[in-house]
Homo-oligomer: A and B are copies of this chain.
Amino acid sequence: MTLALLDLPNGPVELARATAADLDALVALIADDAIARSRGDSADAGLGAAYADAFAAIDRDRAQLLVVGRAGEQVVATMQLSFIPGLSRQGATRLQIEAVRVADSQRGSGLGSAMIRWALDEGRRRGAALAQLTSDSARPEAHTFYERLGFAATHVGFKQQL
């Protein structure tokens, strides 16, 4: 299902709801990143069942939207949107953005910015009052990117393996 067609200097990129046929390309894109690999991300074929289960769980949850960006037949970007209801901030629904990746071949093309701007618009369309994400402290260039897109670095992000 096409979500948007982004008109970019390097050519058009289609944003679509990811399907099971995109899974291998998405896993490869997520693992093609030194920080992600340091946390265990891997396109190792031995993890296929774990990724298939995770994809199925995302796909059946109406609060999740796994987005794939395609330039022609090639997967060049991804992000996951989660819509989280809550009592805080006057009962605001939050749009949470996770697992944002843009292929090296598309860096500097404006695809990342266009994709996040589309996500914020989609959040508004679905009635979210707040958008949030965390970015690894080791990614200062990502922090500048998100600040240019209107985000403020107001919080500290804590993680713990279970």
Contact = CB atoms under 8 A, between A and B. Distances in A.
A158 B130 contact: no
A41 interface: yes
B41 A162 contact: no
Interface in A88-124: 88-96, 98-99, 120, 123-124
A72 interface: no
A50 B99 contact: no
A99 B86 contact: yes
A131 interface: yes
A132 interface: yes
A26 B87 contact: yes
B137 A134 contact: no
A58 B86 contact: yes
A57 B93 contact: yes
How many chain copies does the complex carry? Answer: 2
B137 A155 contact: yes
A4 interface: no
A160 B151 contact: yes
Interface of A: 26-27, 30, 36, 39-42, 47, 50-51, 53-55, 57-58, 61, 63-64, 66, 80, 82, 84-96, 98-99, 120, 123-124, 128-137, 143, 146-147, 149-162
16 contacts: A39-B88, A40-B89, A40-B90, A47-B90, A50-B90, A51-B87, A55-B91, A84-B96, A86-B99, A129-B162, A131-B160, A134-B134, A135-B158, A136-B154, A152-B159, A154-B158
